[in-house]
Amino acid sequence: MSSRNDKFESWVPRTRLGKMILERKISSIEELFMEGLKIRESEIVDLLLPDLQEEVINIGLVQKQTDAGEKSQFRAIVVVGNRDGYVGLGSGKARQVRSAIEKAAVDARLHITPIRRGCGSWECGCGKPHSMPFQVRGECGGVEIVLIPGPRGLGIVASEAAKVILGLAGVKDCWTKSYGSTRTVPSFAFAVFDALKKTYLLVTPKDWVS
């Protein structure tokens, strides 16, 4: 607890929600999603999810044509998650790799989302939240991915980027099928995130709270 306080001793929230969290009027991330409150400060996520982990999924070079000529920047894709039902994916662009990663890490926190886990595998039927509750499909930039519930002990049958994202979300066993330009890692990562978000959007808050 003390390390958590030290880290945020100097933080001055800019939003009403940030102030409420610092004053501990809101103490769980579930409340934010129940109330439909939008997170505009990444510090909120670190305060409410102190076990959050972060991974860099991809770093690429992007060229942009400007009046002054061609400008190249790095684009980083970062995922954050608590390995227990919360995951966020973000991107950031900058001239330096390190700044691009920092921007992406903030963006990932601002896009944190609850996901619903379950055992939708007919082969398993254990009822524990180790996999997906049902099949979900996600897409981004010509990449489509289907996440299919799998039995306990299967592991995550997917490419490296999907493994990292699903792992940080807290999914342990799952099959995946993907279509389109799956080698485009940023689009692929966002397609996985899109599919994960659907586990939550396809149910009512009543179903996932408790």
Using CB under 5 A, list all residues that contact Zn ion.
119, 124, 126, 152
Task: Compute the least distance from the CB of residue 132 to Zn ion, in Å.
Answer: 10
Q: How far apart are the first and last CA of the chain?
A: 25
C-alpha–C-alpha distance, residues 88 and 33, integer Å = 14
Q: How far from 165 is each of 122, 138, 168, 195, 209, CA to CA, in Å?
A: 24, 13, 5, 11, 23
* Cβ within 8 Å of residue 210, ≥6 positions away: none
Task: Compute the least distance from the CB of residue 117 to Zn ion, in Å.
Answer: 10
Our CB check for Zn ion shows the closer of 75 and 117 to be 117
Our CB check for Zn ion shows the closer of 92 and 118 to be 118
* 3 state SS of 24: coil
Task: Compute the least distance from the CB of residue 153 to Zn ion, in Å.
Answer: 9
Our CB check for Zn ion shows the closer of 126 and 201 to be 126
Task: Compute the least distance from the CB of residue 72 to Zn ion, in Å.
Answer: 47
